[in-house]
Structure 1
Amino acid sequence: MDVIYWLIPLSVLVLIVAIAILFWAVRNGQFQDLDSPAVDILFDDDEVQNDKKE
């Protein structure tokens, strides 16, 4: 029973850290462009490498 006195504050702390990381990611623009990674898989790697060399 004593372990529950440690687990409840620990779970609240983990929740606060997770929410802080979420707000940090939103504030820094991590979720701005959600469509490009889904479309990038359709292009060949050779085309992307050739564009970077020029």
Structure 2
Amino acid sequence: MSIIYFLIGCSILLALVFLGAFFWAQRNGQHDDLYTPSVRILLDEDQTDQTKK
């Protein structure tokens, strides 16, 4: 029964570490713009195709 208490404590500690890492990433601006990098290559291709025509 004591191993369950140990595992619960470890899981809570691990969850707090991940929560701290998430807030650290938010504070440093890691998630500011999620849309632009995914479509930047598409926009660049469209602009070069229009200049070739």
Whether TM exceeds 0.5 here: the answer is yes
User: Which runs of 5 or more residues in structure 1 are unaligned?
Assistant: 48-54
Q: Which is helix-richer, 1 or 2?
A: 2
Give aligned pairs, total. 45
* Length-normalised TM-score, structure 2: 0.69
Matched with 1:37 is 37
Identity of aligned residues (%): 47
State the Cα RMSD in Å. Answer: 1.7
Deviations 1:19-47 (A, max 9, x none): 10010000000001111221034245xx8
Which consecutive residues of structure 2, in runs of 5 or more, have no partner in the other structure? 49-53
Q: Which position in structure 2 is the counterpart of 1:51? A: none
Larger radius of gyration: 2
- TM normalised by structure 1 equals 0.68
Q: Does 1:23 align with 2:49?
A: no
Work out the CA distance in 2 between the residues paired with 1:4 and 1:18.
Answer: 21
